[in-house]
A = this chain, B = another copy of it.
Amino acid sequence: MAITYDDVPIRPANLAGPAPEFPWPDGKRAAMMLSFDIDAETAVTSKDPSHFEKLVSMSYGGYEARVGLPKVLELLHELNLKATFFTTGWVADAYPAMVESLLKDGHEIGHHGYHHLLPDPGSPHIESELSKGFEALARHGVRPIGYRAPYGESCNELRTALKREGMLYSSSWRDDVRPYRQVLPDGTSGVVEIPPSSCYDDWMHGMSTRFGPRPIFPKEHVLSMWKDELDEIRAWGAMVGTVLHPLVSGRPMRLRLLRNLLQYTLECRDVWIATGEQIARHFESCEAAAELTKTQKDSAA
């Protein structure tokens, strides 16, 4: 099907209304959804399965299991923080100890596909990535309620499937600074969307390979951005969502950087650091309360 400019709909691509400005719990002024993506080797094979034989390319992913995740978990334990880890099914199957370490420390595990395949519209992998991801996590007794799209893309087929599967939330859209309720193509409600912030994607400034054009930036560069973003969000009373990867942030100097960000955020004292599940459930209870108020007003009128 050739799509021409005459076919482009004359309406927002996102049908959801404005994000409601619900207050954060415990008098906090702003929120941070603390979340990581666990890709390990699927960060490499998801581009081409034959990369599995390129052993040094693969080793960038393998760092996550050998060093990166243990170091990140150590830091979270030290700071007494819980986070969401969106984990590919392949990782759950190939590295069961990684999933066990997440569960032991009480972190949330989210769905992140099986082979980390890009869910472009029309991709033949959308349903299989979803079902195989659920099955792999189920082998650890986990039924995830949150989902983050591999490579940060999504489409209507995928988000309709998330609703059908009973998921509570997605964390993929880049169009807001507060959670909102997705609206599906048929006009019905979808899952809760908790938008992540591109500037907290550690891949952007902390990962480099000889063949890629991305340089690595030092702490002065990244912390300045991370603090500016957080400070402005605090002034707005809104939220940020991180997109961290232990294969990046578990590298020695990046862990120092993350430690710095988390310490700064804790020192602010007005930021609620929470998992995706906590934020989604908070959103749902605010939504229900608002609905109740609206119903009461309507019946009083």
Contact = CB atoms under 8 A, between A and B. Distances in A.
A58 interface: yes
A62 B12 contact: yes
B225 A56 contact: no
B218 A225 contact: yes
Question: How many monomers of this protein are in the complex?
Answer: 4
Nearest to A114: B5
Nearest to A177: B67
Contact of A3 (B11, B49, B175, B204): B49
Contact of A228 (B19, B152, B219): B219
A74 B233 CA distance: 15
A216 interface: yes
A274 B66 CA distance: 24
A18 B218 contact: no
Given A66-B176, A198-B209, A213-B213, A58 B14 contact: yes
Given A55-B156, A59-B173, A218-B221, A8 B49 contact: yes
A124 to B, nearest CB: 11
Interface residues of A, number: 93
A252 B224 contact: no
B252 A54 contact: no
Contacts of A23: none
A284 interface: no
A22 interface: no
Contacts of A204: 208, 210, 215-216
Given A52-B9, A219-B224, A229 B203 contact: no
Given A59-B13, A218-B221, A228-B256, A53 B156 contact: yes
A242 B175 CA distance: 24
A41 interface: yes
Interface stretch (A88-96, A101-109, A264-272, A290-298): A88-96
Interface in A21-79: 41, 45, 49-50, 52-63, 65-67
Interface in A209-260: 209-210, 212-222, 224-225, 228-229, 231-233, 236, 238, 240, 251-253, 255-257
Given A3-B50, A228-B257, 9 more contacts: A11-B94, A12-B95, A53-B121, A53-B155, A60-B174, A62-B175, A67-B177, A218-B220, A218-B224
